[in-house]
Structure formats: structure tokens, C-alpha cells
């Protein structure tokens, strides 16, 4: 869970941990269920240590962190503003799979095409789940939008896998 996300959610108003959790759930829809409860608090802890967030509220019961209200510090606000203006984008992480294929082919350990097929099937199944989840969402909902994005990414990956299969098949045929 990105620290900046939690920071940004606190920008609206100081909140308790449980309120943050609820807001995340609403924005994420079915994906929200998959989130670990503890993740939010872990992140809040880190933010506190970094000085971007202050815990306020009932003192003297460290065993009950959910009662506390978290507030953004000025540094925290600045960080949020910076973050909103950033244009960094999650990097595609295809190199690992690409190297997996190369290694398998070089060492003769496994058929690269088989690896691709296996991966394809897995991605298709995931895509199916995502699509079905999207179908269950009302139109134009936040969660639906997110699911669309996930589906499109999976689609892009599937297309790349298609290319992998083509290229590796051609290589095999040339030999």
C-alpha cells in the first residue's frame, strides 16, 4: 500500500484508522475485500515515524490504535501536493518473464512455448475473474473503472504473450 495514498486520504479530514479503511473499501469495491486489515495501520505507523502524520486523540492506551485520530503535518501536506503533481507511472515488470523464457531455452530445462501457454492460461483466468467482477459493478462506479484498468492491462499482457509465442515458435521452426 503506497504511503502517499493514505496520506492523501487524510488530506480531506483527520480520520480514524477504521474510517480510512472504510473509504478505501468504497473506492476499491470487490478488490477492497482482499486487503489485509493490518496494512493500513502498518502504513500509518511508518508515516508517523517519517513525521508526515501525527496521532492525536485519547492518550494513554497504545493498545487501542484504532481509537486514535490521525492528522497530516505540514510536511505531510506538502508531500501530498508533490505526489498529486507527479507523473510517475508503475513500471511494467516484464523483464523477469522474458529472461525466464531465455533461460529455459538456453538451458534446455523447459519448452519456452509451454511456459508461455501456461502463463497465458493463468492470465486468461484472471481476466475472466476481473471481467465478471466488472460486470457485477454498476456502470461508472469507481470500482468498475479500476477493474477496467486491470482488465486492459491483462489484455495488453496477453497480447504480448501472443507475440512471445509467435516469435519463439518461429525460432524453433528455424532450427
Distance in angstroms (rounded) separating the CA atoms of residues 172 and 175 = 5
In terms of CB distance, is 81 or 136 closer to other proteins? 136
Which of residues 101 and 130 has its CB atom nearest to other proteins in the complex? 130
Q: Which of residues 77-106 bind other proteins (CB under 8 A)?
A: 90
The three cell numbers locating residue 101 = 523464457
Which of 33, 55, 31, 36 has its CA nearest to residue 44?
Answer: 55
- Asked if residue 128 binds other proteins (CB under 8 A), the reply is yes
CA distance 80 to 70: 15
What phi, psi does 69 have (nearest 5°)? -105, 135
- 149-168 residues in contact with other proteins (CB under 8 A) are 150-155, 158-159
From 135, 173, 174, 175, residue interacting with other proteins (rule: CB under 8 A): 135
Nearer to other proteins, 40 or 52 (CB): 40
CA 123 vs CA 131, 157, 168: distances in Å: 12, 8, 19
Residues found near other proteins in the complex (CB under 8 A): 1, 28, 30-31, 33-36, 39, 90, 117, 120-122, 124-135, 139-140, 144, 146, 148, 150-155, 158-159
Amino acid at each position: 500500500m503506497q504511503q502517499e495514498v493514505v496520506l492523501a486520504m487524510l488530506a480531506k479530514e483527520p480520520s480514524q484508522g477504521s474510517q480510512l479503511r472504510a473509504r478505501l473499501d468504497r473506492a476499491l469495491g470487490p478488490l477492497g475485500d482482499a486487503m489485509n486489515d493490518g496494512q493500513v495501520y502498518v502504513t500509518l505507523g511508518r508515516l508517523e515515524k517519517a513525521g508526515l502524520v501525527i496521532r492525536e486523540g485519547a492518550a494513554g492506551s497504545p493498545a487501542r490504535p484504532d481509537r486514535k485520530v490521525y492528522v497530516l503535518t505540514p510536511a505531510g501536506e506538502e508531500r501530498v501536493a508533490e505526489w498529486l503533481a507527479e507523473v510517475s507511472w508503475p513500471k511494467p515488470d516484464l523483464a523477469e518473464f522474458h529472461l525466464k523464457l531465455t533461460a529455459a531455452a538456453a538451458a534446455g530445462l523447459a519448452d519456452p512455448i509451454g511456459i508461455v501457454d501456461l502463463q497465458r492460461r493463468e492470465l486468461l483466468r484472471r481476466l475472466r475473474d476481473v471481467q465478471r467482477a466488472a460486470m457485477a459493478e454498476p456502470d461508472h462506479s469507481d470500482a468498475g473503472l479500476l477493474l477496467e484498468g486491470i482488465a486492459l492491462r491483462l489484455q495488453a499482457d496477453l497480447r504480448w504473450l501472443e507475440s512471445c509465442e509467435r516469435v519463439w515458435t518461429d525460432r524453433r521452426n528455424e532450427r
